[in-house]
Amino acid sequence: MKLCDGVYAYIWRGVFENNCNMYYFGEPLNLLFDPGLARHVDLRFDTMRSDGLNPDDITTVISTHSHPDHFEGCAHFMDGRAKVGMHRDEIAVLNEVGPQFFRMMGMEFPSFSFDMELDEGPLNVNGVELEVFLTPGHSPGSVCVYWKDKKVLVCGDLIFRESVGRTDFPGGDSAKLRASIERMAELDIEYLLPGHMDYVSGAVQVKKNFDVIRRYIFPML
């Protein structure tokens, strides 16, 4: 679904199986975020085609973190068809606990390689400048990616609509999650694109979402 010029959202609506939301920044970026579980990649490509997009145009894939419901589908692109990136801290986590974490989820650990080890700071994708923020809390190397010109924040499992990412997985940290959320609340955001649940649109609604989380969720962390 097209949210605004160049920005597309593919919200996971499945009731009986967990999977993440997938986002796409179109021409000239051709940038895909969080392809999700591998077995659903082809289905999601069909949804992109219904929006007039060609999945073969994807040149860059970013995984916001290494949990299977976000990362497993990246294996689809690791044959050289696109550059695949994740934050270097999260790649270290994947190397350390990935096999055990995937087994805990009843899944086979995929072979992987990365073309990009992300760091916090500017990221130029096909001539367009984005900003990468390291936002630990849900996992040690989780990132948010901000497109300032569009006022769009892809936030992974840091923050949702009136909720936040869980911190009981390996490397989770409630204090770091709160600090990361407060950093992102300082940005000028029109579209908040979380890893699960629905997106939040409009600066007023985005601010209200941060306020709700501070008031009702932070005390429980």
Question: For residue 192, is pLDDT > 90?
Answer: yes
Give how many domains the chain has, as a whole number.
1
Mean pLDDT of 125-154: 98
Q: In sequence order, what are the residues at sequence separation of 6 or more whose Cβ sits closer than 8 angstroms to the Cβ of residue 91?
A: 66, 114, 117, 141
Mean pLDDT of 57-73: 97
105-129 pLDDT, tens digit each? 889 898 889 999 999 999 999 999 9
Q: Which residue has the higher pLDDT, 14 or 54?
A: 54
**Which pLDDT value is given to residue 61?**
98
Question: For residue 16, is pLDDT > 90?
Answer: no
Domain ranges, residue 16:
2-220
Burial 44-63 (b: 16+ CB within 10 A, else e): bbeebeeeebebeebbbbbb
Split at pLDDT 50, 70, 90, the class of 210 is very high
CATH of the domain at 181: 3.60.15.10
Mean pLDDT of 74-98: 94
pTM over 0.95: yes
**Which pLDDT value is given to residue 182?**
98
Handedness of CA 145, 161, 200, 185 (dihedral sign): negative
